[in-house]
Structure 1
Amino acid sequence: MPKNSFFRRMPRVLFASTAMLGLLASFTLGTGQAAHAAGHVNPNAVTINPQHVYAGKVQDGPTFKCQSATAAVRCYGPQQIRTAYNIQSVLNSGITGKGRNIVIVDAFSAPAIASDLQLFDKTFGLQDAPLNIIAPDGLTPFDPNDANQVGWSGEISLDVEWAHAVAPDATINLVLAKTNNDEDILSATRYAVDHNLGDVISQSFGEGETCVDPKLLKKEHQLFFEATQKHITLFASAGDQGSSQPSCDGSGNFFLSASSPAADPLVTSIGGTQLIADPVTGAYQSEVVWNEPQFGSAGGGGFSTIYRKPFYQYGTQGIKNFRGEPDVSYNAAINGGVLTVWSESGITGGIFIFGGTSAGSPQWAGITALGAQKANHRLGFLNPAFYLIGHTSLAKQVFHDTTVGNNGYAYADANGNTVTIPGYSAGKGWDAATGWGTPDVSKLLSVLIPFSCGENNAANIASLH
C-alpha cells in the first residue's frame, strides 16, 4: 500500500470497567469507511506551510513592534500568554514542570533548534531547557531548498519553544520521524511509547481521517491504547482549515472531514481561538473562534465518520452518533500569534509570529507537565475528566467558553472559483468549533487533578486490553 503523509498547515475518577470497555468497542472501523479510506490514499508526501509572519531579529527584543495595540499583525511573547491563561501564578507557586517529561513528535529536523531555543530563552528571560533530540530511524539530511523540510523545521521550532515557555523546567524529548510519511510518523511515536519517554505526547500534525490507510489507522489506535495504559496523555492539533481537510488525492481541493490523529477518541483534540489580550501585560480580554480568511486559515473541528461517539461524550449537546472534535482549544491566531525563533527560515536569529492549532498542542502538553508535577503523578487520559468537568458548574470557572464565531472555510479551486465549506458555530458549552474552550490553567489544574486518570488507575486500564 502506498504511503501517505501527516501534515499540518500553519502552523481521581476510577472509571467503571464496563464504561471503558464500551469506549474501546466504539473505536471499531466500519467497513464502509475503511473501503473509502483505501480508495483515497495519496501516494505522495504532502508538504507543509506553517503560517508565520516575520517580526524581526532577536536583537530587536525583548519587546517587538508587533506587541502593540496598533500593530497590523499583533503578537504575544511567553509572558503575555502566561498571564492571559493564568499560567504565571502556577509557575510562581514553584510548579514549573520539574521532573516531568514532554515528548514532541515531529518529522525531518531543525538543525538549529538547540541554539534557537537558547536564543528564545535569552530573548524572553527564560531558563535554559533540558532538550533531548532522538531520531529512532535516523535523520533525512536537512535540505534548506526543500520547502517541506523547511516547513517542518518551523513546526519543530514552534513546538519546542512553546512547550518550554509553558513548562520551563520540564525535559523536552524531541522525537523525529525520518520523513512525514504516515508509517515513519507512526514508527517515531511507537518508539516514544515503547520507551516511555514522556508523561505527555504532543502531535502538531494531521490529515483527513479517511486519507489514512485503515490498517495503519488500526495500528495507530492500538498504539494510543498502549500509551493510555502507561498513563501517557496524548494531544493532537485539530487542523488549520476549519471544518475541512485537504483532499486525499493531492488535487488542492478540500472536503468536510475530521482530522487524524486528533479524531481518535484516545487523543485530546486541540482546536483554535483568536485570543484578545493586552499586548503588553497579557491581561485576558476575550476570545473568538479562530477564522482568518486573509491567511487562509481557521480552527479545525467537526465529526468523525470512522469513530463512534465515545462514552465520555454521551449527553453532550451537539454530538449525535460519532466522535466530535475538538475537545478543548487554545490561541491559534496569526494576528495574535506567538513569537518564535526560527533560523532555518534563512534568517539566523529571526523572530516570527506563528499561528495555527499547531501552537496549542505543545502548550497543552506543557500545561499537563505542570499538572503532573503538582499531582506527583501522570494525569493520563484526560478526555473523560474534561467532559465530566464540562457538564458541571465548574466549567465556567476553569474554561474560557468561546461563544462567538464559526470555523467555515473557503478556498479557490483550480478554476479560480471560490468554494465554501460550511463550518460549525461556537455556542455555550461544548461545540465543534472550540470544544469546551480554553483554559484558566491555575483553576483548571486544581479541579482536573482529582478528576484525572492518574497512575492509581493502572489496574483498571490494563484490564481492558
Structure 2
Amino acid sequence: MHYLRLSVLCALTVITTPLESAATPFPPNWNHMHTKHRWNVIPGKWESIGQPPVGTTIDFSIALKPHREHALTDTIHEVSNPNHLKYGAYLSKDQVAKLVAPHPYTLKLVETWLRHHGVSPSNVSTSHGGNWLTVTGVAVSTANELLGASYQLYRYAGTNETILRTVGYALPAALHVHVQTVAPTTYFGSPLTPRKRARGHRGRAAAALSARDGLVTPAILRSLYNSVTYQPAAMEQNRIGVTGFHGQYVSDEDLEKFMRHFRSDANDPNFLVIDINDSGYDPNKPGWEANLDIQYTQGMAWPTPHVFYSIGGLAEEFIPDSFTPVNTNEPYLGWLDTMIRQEDIPQTISTSYGGDEQTFPPDYAKSVCELFGQLGARGVSILFASGDEGVGGGDCKKNDGSGVVEFQPIFPATCPWVTSVGGTMGRPEVAAPLSSGGFSNVFKRPDYQTDAVLGFFQQLGNQHSGLYNASSRGHPDVAAQAIDFVIFLDDELKLVDGTSCSTPVVAGIISLLNDYQLSMNRPVLGFLNPWLYSTASQGFNDITSGSNPGCGTDGFSAVPGWDPVTGLGTPDFQRLLERLPIPTN
C-alpha cells in the first residue's frame, strides 16, 4: 500500500494583458447600484454574531460573462452528442479558455470599477481566458462599498462554524450585463453542505455484520452490474478522480484491508493525493465519506489509477484564531479553479457532496455549473450524488420567508452539465426511499432530456402539481445500489447508506467504459448525458418500483422509463459496452 501526495494552492495566474493599462472613455456612475441577489431572511440556521474584527480582509472571485454567450454550450453539445460529426473532438485547456473569455471591454470596465474604490491592480488576477477574476486582500469596509453589502460574521447554530457573508449585495447598473456573480457573498453553506449526510448512516461491529444478508460489497455490485469479466487494459492512459471536502480524508490502511477482504485479486491498491487550499490532509483521521468513495471506486475499477482531491474550504471544524478570524473560502470554486488550470485531468470524477439547491444563490449556481461545463468540453465525465432526502427533507419551506412548501432539488446534481446518480436497494432492485430526485428551480430542461421527462409526465398526470417546476432540468440521470454498503473505517467494518454509495459505483463503471474506449483508440465518453439519454438508454436496468417520499408526500414513483427517483435505471456494463459510441470523423 502506498500513496503519493501533491499540494496545490489556488493562486490564480495572470495571463492576460495587465489590467493597470485599462481605461474606459466614459466612466459610469458607480453609485447607481442595482441589487444582484438578496435573501429576505438569514438562510437556514445561521445567526449573525456581529461585525468582523477591525482590519479583517476578504478575497473574492468575480465571474465575468463570456463575449460569446452560447459558445461553450454549443461546443459541449457538439463534442458530446454521439450523432454529431465533432463527437469526441474534445478541447484543450486553452481552447476552452478562448470560448469563455469575456470581451476586453468587460475587463476594462471591471478594472475601472475596482480602481475607483481603491483596489490596486496588483491585487487583481485573472484565470485563463479571464473568465474569472480574483481580488485579494480587500478590507471588509471596501468590499461593503464595492458591493453595496453589509458583511457580518455568521455562526451555524450549535457549532463553531463561523463565516463572513452578507445577506445581500448589489453592483453598479453598468456591470450587470458584464458580471455573472461575486463570491463569497450570499452563499450560506451549512456545515452539512456541500456534503449532505447519508440518511441512516450507521456503524456496526463485524459480528453484527456477519449475521446480515443482503449487504453490499464490490463482488455483489460487479456481479449485479455485469462487470466481473472485464479486465482494464488502458491503465497508462485512464484515471479516475474522487473528491473529498470538509476534512474528509482517506486511510490507506483501511483501503488495503477493504481490498484484501473484498477484491482479493487486487494487488497494491494506491492513489495520488492532491491537496488543494491547505486541506490538512491526514490519513490518520479518515472520514466515512472519503473512505467509502475511494474504497468503492477502487472496488469497481481497480487497477485503474486513482486521484484523491483533498479540498480545503468551508469545513465542519473551522475554528477562528487571531490570524484567520473567519472562513471565507468557497470550496467548489477552489477545487474547480485547480481542475481547470490543469492540462491533464482524470477522465471520470466522482463527487458525493451536495446541498439544497435553494441555499445556493442562482447566479452563483449557474457560474459553478458553467465551470463543470468547461470540464465536460474537455472530455471529463463528472458524476454527482443526487442526495439523500427523497423529494426534500424537513418542512420543505422556501427560504424566502414566504412559507411556501415545494420539493427541494439538490445542487450540483441539478446542473445540466453533470450526471446525477440516485439510489436503489434490494435484489431485484427497487428505488431507495432516500434517493433525492426532482426538478430544478434554477436550470432549464436540457434538450437531451426532453423526451424522457415528457414521457414521465404522461404517467405522472397532475400528481404533486405546484410542488415542482415542470419546465426544468430533472434529476437523477441514473442510479445504483445505495443501502447497506460495507466499508472499513478506523480498522472496523461499518455500514453506510446513501447516494454517496451509488455515485462511486457508477463512476467506476464509467471509468471501465472509458478504459475500453481508450484501449480501442477511441475518445473517452466525456460529458455523458447526451449518450445516456440516446443510444445508451437501453443499457440500463429500468427500475419501476419504489418512490422517494419527503415534504409530507409520497414523493415521485419509479415508473417505466426515466423517473426522478432512479433516472434511466442502473447500469449493465456489458450492454453499455455494446452501445459505446464510435466516432464517424
TM-score by length of 1: 0.72
Of 542, 546, 557 in structure 2, the residue corresponding to residue 425 of structure 1 is 557
Of 219, 222, 226 in structure 2, the residue corresponding to residue 79 of structure 1 is 219
Match of 2:407 in 1: 256
Matched, 1:404 2:552: no
Match of 1:322 in 2: 472
Q: Take 1:312 and 1:100, find their aligned partners in 2: how far apart are those partners?
A: 27
Give runs of aligned pairs for residues 103-122 of structure 1, distance below 5 A: 103-110=241-248, 113-122=251-260
One-letter amino acid of the counterpart of residue 301, structure 1:
G
Matched, 1:338 2:485: yes
One-letter amino acid of the counterpart of residue 313, structure 1:
Q
Match of 1:212 in 2: 360
Q: Take 1:96 and 1:287, find their aligned partners in 2: how far apart are those partners?
A: 32
Counterpart secondary structure, 1:76: coil
One-letter amino acid of the counterpart of residue 213, structure 1:
P
One-letter amino acid of the counterpart of residue 408, structure 1:
P
Q: Take 2:449 and 2:197, find their aligned partners in 1: how far apart are those partners?
A: 33
Match of 2:210 in 1: 65
* Residues 514 and 525 in structure 2, CA contact (< 8 A), matched pair in contact too: yes
1:110 deviation in Å? 4.6
More helix by share: 1
Match of 1:271 in 2: 422
1:238 deviation in Å? 0.5
Counterpart secondary structure, 1:75: coil
* Residues 390 and 436 in structure 1, CA contact (< 8 A), matched pair in contact too: no
Matched, 1:188 2:335: yes
Root mean square deviation, CA, Å: 3.6
Counterpart secondary structure, 1:88: coil
Q: Take 2:234 and 2:85, find their aligned partners in 1: how far apart are those partners?
A: 33
Structure (1 or 2) with the larger CA radius of gyration? 2
Give runs of aligned pairs for residues 378-417 of structure 1, distance below 5 A: 378-389=524-535, 395=538, 398-409=539-550
1:318 deviation in Å? 2.4
> Cα deviation per residue 1:87-128 (whole Å; 9 max; x = unaligned)?
10223xx55866411111121345552121111122221322
Of 346, 351, 358 in structure 1, the residue corresponding to residue 500 of structure 2 is 358
Q: Take 1:49 and 1:143, find their aligned partners in 2: how far apart are those partners?
A: 21
TM-score by length of 2: 0.58
> Number of paired residues?
376
Tell which deviates more after alignment, 177-186 or 118-127.
177-186
1:188 deviation in Å? 1.3
1:214 deviation in Å? 2.8
Matched, 1:450 2:581: yes
C-alpha change, 1:193 and 1:431, in structure 2 (3 Å) is same
Q: Which runs of 5+ in 1 are unaligned?
A: 6-11, 18-23, 25-30, 145-149, 277-285, 292-297, 344-348, 410-418, 458-465
Q: Take 1:307 and 1:200, find their aligned partners in 2: how far apart are those partners?
A: 23
One-letter amino acid of the counterpart of residue 108, structure 1:
H
Match of 2:387 in 1: 239
Match of 2:304 in 1: 170
Of 263, 277, 298 in structure 2, the residue corresponding to residue 137 of structure 1 is 277
1:44 deviation in Å? 4.2
C-alpha change, 1:197 and 1:16, in structure 2 (3 Å) is closer
Q: Take 1:270 and 1:308, find their aligned partners in 2: how far apart are those partners?
A: 19
Q: Which runs of 5+ in 2 are unaligned?
A: 1-36, 45-80, 87-98, 100-176, 316-328, 458-469
Counterpart secondary structure, 1:202: strand
* Residues 136 and 188 in structure 1, CA contact (< 8 A), matched pair in contact too: yes
Counterpart secondary structure, 2:278: coil
Match of 1:46 in 2: 192
1:45 deviation in Å? 2.8
Q: Take 1:41 and 1:287, find their aligned partners in 2: how far apart are those partners?
A: 37
C-alpha change, 1:200 and 1:4, in structure 2 (3 Å) is farther
1:356 deviation in Å? 0.6
Match of 1:294 in 2: none
Of 139, 160, 178 in structure 1, the residue corresponding to residue 294 of structure 2 is 160
Give the share of equivalent positions with the same residue, in percent: 25
Of 84, 88, 91 in structure 2, the residue corresponding to residue 15 of structure 1 is 84
* Residues 199 and 369 in structure 1, CA contact (< 8 A), matched pair in contact too: yes
Matched, 1:201 2:352: no
1:400 deviation in Å? 1.2
Q: Comparing both chains, which one has the higher relative contact order based on Cα–Cα distances under 8 Å and sequence gaps of 6 or more?
A: 1
Match of 1:9 in 2: none
1:440 deviation in Å? 1.0
Q: Take 2:234 and 2:218, find their aligned partners in 1: how far apart are those partners?
A: 14
Tell which deviates more after alignment, 119-128 or 200-209.
119-128
Q: Take 1:185 and 1:41, find their aligned partners in 2: how far apart are those partners?
A: 12
1:185 deviation in Å? 2.6
C-alpha change, 1:77 and 1:390, in structure 2 (3 Å) is closer
Match of 1:283 in 2: none
